[in-house]
Amino acid sequence: MRLTTIIISIFLLSTSVEAIDIEWTHILDENTGPFQFIQTEDGGFLIYGDYNNSTFTRLNSELEVVWRRSWHIFEGKDAREKFLVLPDGRYAIIGNRRINCDNEEDSESDVFLFEFNNDGDSLCYYVWESDEYIVMGDAVLLDDGGYIILAYVALNDRREEEYIAFRVDSEHEIIWREMLQRPMPQNHLWCITPTDDGCFLIGGHLLVTRPDYKTYGHIVKIDPDGEIIWRLNYLGPEERSASVSEILNLSDGRYAATGSVSDRDNYHTWYLEFNSDGEELVNRRITDLVKYWGSRHFIVSTNGEFFLVLRIEDLNLPEDYNSGYILVRTNKDGDSLDCHLFHNDSLYKWHNVDIIPTSDGGAIILGMLFIEQHNPRIYLQRDVMIKIAPTREDNVVESDLKDVLPLTSFLSPVCPNPFNSIARITYELNDRMDVCVAVFNTKGQQVAVLDRGERAAGVYNLIWEAEGIPSGVYFIELSTPVVKQTRKVMLTK
């Protein structure tokens, strides 16, 4: 109890916006170096830690440990992994396998795939071996059971990096491989996100030396065969450099990206919104609260708000509070609503902070906290989960900063997806109108009606309990007199 009180008491420092409310804090019974986590269909959690071995911890909805498994699936520093949810109660990690790690010049790096089931049983371990030094950056799961993997190949004694994407089928065979960005010291591609039209968006940054020396936020759109449809450069207002670190698929062909922008002296949080053709819709700073390295995590809540976890480089605060993480919540326009500081000082040091949305419009933070003991060189490690309260408890969500109605009517992405038996659907109306939210199978047959009738403007949260419905792909459709929109979901049992 005393440790929990200490942890809660050190979270918050004064800022210029309202503080985020914390509902509960949970300390895990064993330290695994948590790196990523997901919420499971039964309301529990699956936590991936990379402390020594790769350790997976399964928690039930009461946060009790169901099982814990450790596998030695990679080695070496700077290992990168992507945690993916597969159909039929399976999960996957895609990451780097490094060989000869003790000798940096002779070390090798390949991309591996590791799959396991909901009971913690290992199912598959596969390595795409190569004579090149390849480092995985990001990956997405495809409808056919394959993957598209974003990576870079180290060239010229690892002084330059050639960014590539390659697609593999469900049997792990490589279908194609394409170079996306030519080798240059300051060119990077970080993230990949599926689009509504079956294509993919890849974000990073690109150095442009002519006519002016600037680094642009760089986004590439590719088709399922790896062909480049368009590539565009973006720059924040009055900034000299920008970088895209995360891309989210919003709705109605809209996409949002975050990253860092900088002038000559400072870095800031950057928000960019664009359409499927790459046309810029919104370009602005989200907050000037901190100087920091950039966005580490960017998620959309079930209320349509944004949560960002930022890695802090410097704060305009006392010297002891000079690094750590900050959680920022914004409305749909990118205006800061509130924030929370997970700071590092002489006693407390945060590592590996991750965040996922919850069905009530809040979020859960997972992090690793080191607390200094009497000896300055000895730290007590604790893996901590923190529940962030939603902005509103009622069904209709209004901005804390603006008393306005939603700007558009749209159907938000379904959460979770894939799902086992319960899916949560959120839709938003900008005016009073007749609404029908229904579920259809791949044959176009209606299998359920989730909501029907006249509804006022606002945000509505629905639940589809798919008991008795066979596994497969389904389409949830929002139909109104002014808009019709569909979201694809996968039901697994």
DSSP per position, 368-422: EEEEE-SSTT-EEEEEEEEEEPPS-SSSS---SS-----SS-EEPPPBSSSBSSE
Distance, CA of 469 to chain centre:
29
Q: Is 371 exposed, middle or buried (0-12, 13-18, 19+ CB in 10 A)?
A: middle
Handedness of CA 152, 199, 415, 86 (dihedral sign): negative
- For residue 461, pLDDT over 70 is answered with yes
More confident residue, 166 or 354: 166
| Range with the largest mean pLDDT of 147-151, 293-297, 471-475 | 147-151
* Nearest one of 415, 411, 422, 424 to 461, comparing CA atoms: 424
- For residue 58, pLDDT over 90 is answered with yes
Q: CATH 2.130.10.10 region(s) of the chain?
A: 2-388
- Check residue 334 and give its pLDDT: 64
| DSSP code at position 20 | P
Please state, in angstroms and rounded to a whole number, the distance separating the CA atoms of residues 306 and 357: 10
Quick check: helix, strand or coil at residue 324? strand
Q: What is the mean pLDDT of the chain?
A: 76
pTM: 0.71
What string of DSSP letters covers 83-145?
EEEETTTEEEEEEEEEE-TTSGGG-EEEEEEEEEETTS-EEEEEEE--SS-EEEEEEEE-TTS
- Check residue 18 and give its pLDDT: 47
> For 392-426, how does the pLDDT look when each residue is reduced to its tens digit (9 = 90+)?
443 333 333 233 334 456 677 676 777 887 888 87
> For 334-345, how does the pLDDT look when each residue is reduced to its tens digit (9 = 90+)?
666 666 666 555
Q: Could you tell me which CATH class the domain 410-491 is placed in?
A: mainly beta
- For residue 113, pLDDT over 90 is answered with yes
What string of DSSP letters covers 242-281?
EEEEEEEE-STTEEEEEEEEE-SS-EEEEEEEEETT--EE
- For residue 17, pLDDT over 60 is answered with no
Instruction: Number of helices (H) and strands (E) in the chain: give both, helices first.
Output: 1, 36
Please state, in angstroms and rounded to a whole number, the distance separating the CA atoms of residues 139 and 230: 20
* Nearest one of 402, 231, 269, 233 to 331, comparing CA atoms: 402
| Range with the largest mean pLDDT of 273-282, 364-373, 480-489 | 273-282
Q: Which helix (H) or strand (E) holds 8?
A: helix 2-10
pLDDT interval class at 8 (50, 70, 90): very low
Beta bridge partners of 249: 255
246-255, 347-356, 391-400, 469-478: least confident range: 391-400
- Check residue 377 and give its pLDDT: 47
Amino acid at position 401, single letter: L
Task: From residue 238, give the alpha-carbon distance in Å to each of 78, 208, 273, 278, 368.
Answer: 34, 17, 17, 20, 36
178-187, 273-282, 382-391, 451-460: least confident range: 178-187
Please state, in angstroms and rounded to a whole number, the distance separating the CA atoms of residues 429 and 112: 44
* Nearest one of 203, 158, 161 to 182, comparing CA atoms: 161
Average pLDDT rounded to a whole number, residues 57-74: 86
- Check residue 301 and give its pLDDT: 78
122-131, 276-285, 291-300, 462-471: least confident range: 291-300
Q: Could you tell me which CATH class the domain 2-388 is placed in?
A: mainly beta
Please state, in angstroms and rounded to a whole number, the distance separating the CA atoms of residues 458 and 468: 31
> For 213-230, how does the pLDDT look when each residue is reduced to its tens digit (9 = 90+)?
677 888 999 999 999 999
pLDDT interval class at 179 (50, 70, 90): confident
Average pLDDT rounded to a whole number, residues 156-163: 69
Q: CATH 2.60.40.1930 region(s) of the chain?
A: 410-491
* Cβ atoms within 10 Å of 189's Cβ, excluding its own: 25
Please state, in angstroms and rounded to a whole number, the distance separating the CA atoms of residues 339 and 287: 10
- For residue 373, pLDDT over 60 is answered with no
* Cβ atoms within 10 Å of 34's Cβ, excluding its own: 24
- Check residue 213 and give its pLDDT: 67
Strand pairing report for 54-59 and 379-388: unpaired
Please state, in angstroms and rounded to a whole number, the distance separating the CA atoms of residues 243 and 70: 35
Percent of the chain having pLDDT more than 70? Answer: 70
Which residues are CB-contacts of 12 (< 8 A; sequence separation ≥ 6)? Answer: 19, 340, 341
> For 237-288, how does the pLDDT look when each residue is reduced to its tens digit (9 = 90+)?
666 678 888 898 987 788 988 887 776 666 677 788 899 999 988 887 765 5
* Nearest one of 220, 173, 217, 174 to 195, comparing CA atoms: 220
- Check residue 379 and give its pLDDT: 52
Please tell me the total number of residues recorded for the chain in this structure. 493
- Check residue 158 and give its pLDDT: 60
